[in-house]
């Protein structure tokens, strides 16, 4: 099997549809079918079952996909270690990040990093903590920017904490929150638990949630159009100074905050490219970052 066959098997293992795989590999659907048939002929065994619903994998196919995933991972690891031995800052840099980090911090950060190290190929995956930590454990990514402090057996570095705010178009009285509509957005479970706990400690009645949207950006637009208030972090609020925002204060007088940490996979420090990126972050005070 050649590299394209291996990539094809890996994509099937990720559960992608045949059309998506063909588009990603820049081949036609008939060419994709031909390659699948050739792989089956090579091993003289049924690997895939194709029907109107797409493609299903046989136990033999799952075994071969697992082999392809391990071989691809090993090849990338060898390539990165060869770069490391030659002290070259090049090769892939696989980063996981929350949506807010990916939107507000990573673009300019990577732009500056690539100015000094143009031969590095960054690959960024966005998501929530559970899926990104799973990718770290499986070493599908080298590092992850996560907006919570979790138990981690490998290296991690604190970046900073940020305040959590009540955000609204007009000034509001916090004592009236139970009577006002709230806009919620999909976020990490940890932040939702922090907010829910604060609410239970301060109010007898549940919030009036009239909209649930998929991102902080959409949430901000709803608030900007006076459709309700929202509870957002400092980073989620970004530069929207036109909106009224009040920091949430806990019963102990301390502001409610959310932390951001950088997590490294088990073998991340073995790679010269990853170490160069970490050093770049340190030199640019990312671990004392102000949003």
Q: Are residues 218 and 265 in the same domain?
A: no
Same-domain check for residues 133 and 273: yes
Quick one: pLDDT at residue 56?
A: 85
How confident is the model at residue 169, as a pLDDT? 93
Whether 121 and 171 share a structural domain: no
Shared domain check, 136 and 26: no
Q: Are residues 242 and 170 in the same domain?
A: yes
pLDDT of residue 33: 85
- Asked if 173 and 227 sit in the same domain, the reply is yes
DSSP state of 255: B
194/24 Cα distance (integer angstroms): 40
Q: What pTM does this model have?
A: 0.72
pLDDT at 112: 93
Q: Are residues 254 and 272 in the same domain?
A: no
Residue 79 neighbours by CB under 8 Å, 6+ apart: 91
pLDDT for the residue 288 = 62
CATH number of the domain within which 206 lies: 3.40.190.290
Residue that terminates a domain, selected from 14, 46, 76: 76
CATH of the domain at 25: 1.10.10.10
Per the structure, the count of domains in the chain is 3
Buried b (16+ CB within 10 A) or exposed e, 145-169: bbbbeeeeeeebeebbebbbbbbbb
> Is-contact 135 123, C-beta < 8 A?
no
Inter-helix orientation angle 272-283/59-85, to 10°: 60
Print pLDDT tens along the chain (291 aa). 777 788 888 888 888 888 888 888 888 888 888 888 888 888 888 888 877 777 888 989 898 998 888 888 777 777 667 766 656 678 889 999 999 899 888 999 999 999 999 989 999 999 999 999 999 998 889 999 999 999 999 999 999 889 999 999 999 898 899 999 999 998 888 899 999 999 999 999 999 999 999 988 899 999 999 999 999 998 878 766 678 999 999 888 899 999 999 999 998 988 888 999 999 998 887 876 554
Distance CA 252, CA 201 (A): 11
| 264 and 147 within one domain | yes
Please give the residue range of the domain that contains residue 43: 3-76
Q: What is the pLDDT of residue 85?
A: 63
The dihedral sign for the CA sequence 190, 192, 198, 204: negative
Regarding whether 181 and 224 lie in a shared domain, the answer is yes
State the Cα–Cα distance between residues 205 and 178, nearest whole angstrom: 7
Final residue in a domain of this structure, among 28, 56, 76: 76
Instruction: Tell whether 252 and 165 lie within a shared domain.
Output: yes
Give the residue from 49, 14, 9, 53 showing the smallest Cα distance to 32: 9
Single out the residue in 36, 60, 76 at which a domain terminates. 76
The CATH number of the domain holding residue 119 is 3.40.190.10
Amino acid 87: pLDDT: 65
Q: Are residues 147 and 274 in the same domain?
A: yes
**206 & 252 share domain:** yes
């Amino acid at each position: 099997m050649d590299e394209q066959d291996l990539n094809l098997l890996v994509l099937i293992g990720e559960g992608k549809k045949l059309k998506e795989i063909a588009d990603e590999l820049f081949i036609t659907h008939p060419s994709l079918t031909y390659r699948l048939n050739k792989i089956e002929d090579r091993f003289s065994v049924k690997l895939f079952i194709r029907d109107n619903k797409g493609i299903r994998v046989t136990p033999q196919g799952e075994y071969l996909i697992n082999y392809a995933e391990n071989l691809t991972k090993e090849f990338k690891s060898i390539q990165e270690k060869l770069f490391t031995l030659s002290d070259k800052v090049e090769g892939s840099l696989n980063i996981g990040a929350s949506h807010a980090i990916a939107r507000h911090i990573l673009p300019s950060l990577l732009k500056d990093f690539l100015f000094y190290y143009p031969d590095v190929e960054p690959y960024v995956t966005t998501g929530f903590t559970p899926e990104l930590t799973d990718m770290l454990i499986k070493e599908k990514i080298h590092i992850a920017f996560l907006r919570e402090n979790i138990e981690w057996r490998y290296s991690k570095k604190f970046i900073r904490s940020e305040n959590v705010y009540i955000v609204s178009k007009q000034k509001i009285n916090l004592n009236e929150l139970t009577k006002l509509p709230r806009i919620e957005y999909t976020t990490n479970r940890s932040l939702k638990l922090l907010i829910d706990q604060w609410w239970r400690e301060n109010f007898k009645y549940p919030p009036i949630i009239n909209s649930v949207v998929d991102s902080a950006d959409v949430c901000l637009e709803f608030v900007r159009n006076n459709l309700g208030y929202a509870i957002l972090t400092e980073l989620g609020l970004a530069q929207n100074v036109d909106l009224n925002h009040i920091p949430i204060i806990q019963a102990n007088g301390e502001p409610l905050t959310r932390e951001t940490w950088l997590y490294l996979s088990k073998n991340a420090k073995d790679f010269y490219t990853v170490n160069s990126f970490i050093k770049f972050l340190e030199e640019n005070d990312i671990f004392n970052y102000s949003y």
